[in-house]
């Protein structure tokens, strides 16, 4: 089947929904979804009349407009502005509840000595995350980061942090130390509660996870919108992950000794990220405008607070 003509696709892609730009159905919120059952009459490149899904046409047009290398460079350039701020880019273990975190935001983790191959002075982003993506959620940015870090005594709860679960599973695989209860259940399973040995093994792994994640440095942006799956925070998170993964063909690959290579999750190994969700999705480059605005707001607020 031939391609739709550029003119036909452009007409669909340039439609407006109120004051918002029309985007792919997978990007709710600011971008208006296109009903999957909307059909459009187009003329193919071979001159044949065809009926195509509007959502498919817009998705294809968007893919052709994306330039992952250019967009990734812009992504890192935008985030680099945060480096000049006093409280940004520290190791996670250095932060406390008194650190100047906004109530809501998006965070970006980096690992020590894991530099971008294209720019050896710039650390590679290894995980992107947010919080409060369900309606009426009361979780905060620091609350989410604290769950990833664990306790000051070195403990933690991998059943309350998917990031801790992934890092712990990779550590266990690398060191060939199986813990059958690791990652089982949302709370401690019976097999763990009745076994002092199993509890000790899990506690030892939790301490290793806390040490590993605590050594990572963190950047964050203030995005103070309301909780919900369609929040701007969720949009920035999923598009950042999709851009970095590039559908399992990451432009900036991890170092050969990166722990994630031992992960039991193929999504982590293939994306070179400590993320699973959104790693095999297309990104919308328009999210970079939102990220840039959030970074500018974060920088402005930080400078005002220290003035």
- Nearest Cα residue to 162 out of 130, 136, 194: 130
Q: Residue 61: what pLDDT?
A: 55
Flag whether pLDDT at 177 surpasses 80.
yes
- Nearest Cα residue to 127 out of 143, 102, 107, 145: 107
Mean of all residue pLDDT scores within the chain: 85
Flag whether pLDDT at 10 surpasses 80.
no
Flag whether pLDDT at 193 surpasses 90.
no
190 pLDDT band, cuts 50/70/90, is confident
Q: Residue 235: what pLDDT?
A: 96
Flag whether pLDDT at 272 surpasses 90.
yes
Q: Residue 29: what pLDDT?
A: 41
Per mean pLDDT, which of 10-24, 188-202, 211-225 is the most reliable?
211-225
13 pLDDT band, cuts 50/70/90, is very low
Q: Residue 43: what pLDDT?
A: 57
Q: Residue 54: what pLDDT?
A: 61
Q: Residue 27: what pLDDT?
A: 42
Average pLDDT of span 77-94: 95
DSSP string, 69-118: HHHHHHHHHHHHGGGGSTTSS-BGGG--TTS---SSEEEEEEEEEEE-SS
Q: Residue 15: what pLDDT?
A: 38
Q: Residue 33: what pLDDT?
A: 45
Secondary structure element (H or E) that encloses residue 149, with its range = helix 141-149
* Span 124-160, pLDDT tens digits: 999 999 998 888 889 999 999 999 999 988 899 999 9
């Amino acid at each position: 089947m031939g391609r739709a003509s550029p003119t036909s696709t452009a007409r669909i892609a340039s439609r407006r929904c109120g004051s918002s730009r029309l985007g792919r159905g997978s990007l709710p919120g600011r971008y208006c979804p296109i009903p999957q059952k909307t059909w459009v009459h187009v003329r193919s490149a071979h001159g044949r009349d065809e009926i195509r899904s509007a959502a498919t046409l817009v998705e294809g047009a968007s893919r052709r407009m994306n330039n992952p290398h250019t967009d990734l460079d812009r992504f890192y350039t935008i985030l680099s502005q945060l480096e000049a701020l006093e409280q940004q880019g520290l190791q996670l273990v250095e932060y406390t509840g008194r650190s100047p975190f906004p109530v809501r935001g998006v965070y970006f983790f980096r690992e020590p000595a894991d530099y971008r191959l294209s720019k050896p002075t710039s650390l590679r982003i290894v995980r992107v995350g947010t919080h409060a993506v369900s309606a009426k959620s009361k979780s905060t940015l620091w609350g989410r980061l604290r769950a990833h870090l664990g306790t000051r005594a070195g403990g933690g709860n991998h059943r309350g942090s998917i990031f801790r679960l992934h890092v712990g599973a990779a550590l266990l695989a690398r060191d060939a130390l199986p813990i059958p209860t690791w990652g089982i259940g949302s709370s401690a399973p019976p097999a763990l509660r009745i076994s002092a040995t199993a509890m000790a093994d899990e506690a030892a792994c939790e301490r290793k996870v806390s040490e590993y994640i605590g050594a990572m440095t963190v950047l964050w942006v203030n995005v103070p919108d309301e909780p919900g799956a369609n929040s701007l925070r969720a949009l920035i998170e999923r598009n950042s992950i999709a851009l970095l993964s590039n559908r399992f063909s990451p432009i900036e690959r991890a170092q050969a000794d990166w722990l994630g290579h031992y992960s039991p999750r193929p999504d982590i190994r293939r994306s070179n990220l400590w993320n699973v969700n959104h790693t095999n999705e297309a990104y919308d480059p328009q999210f970079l405008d939102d990220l840039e605005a959030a970074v500018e707001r974060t920088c402005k607020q930080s400078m005002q607070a220290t003035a």
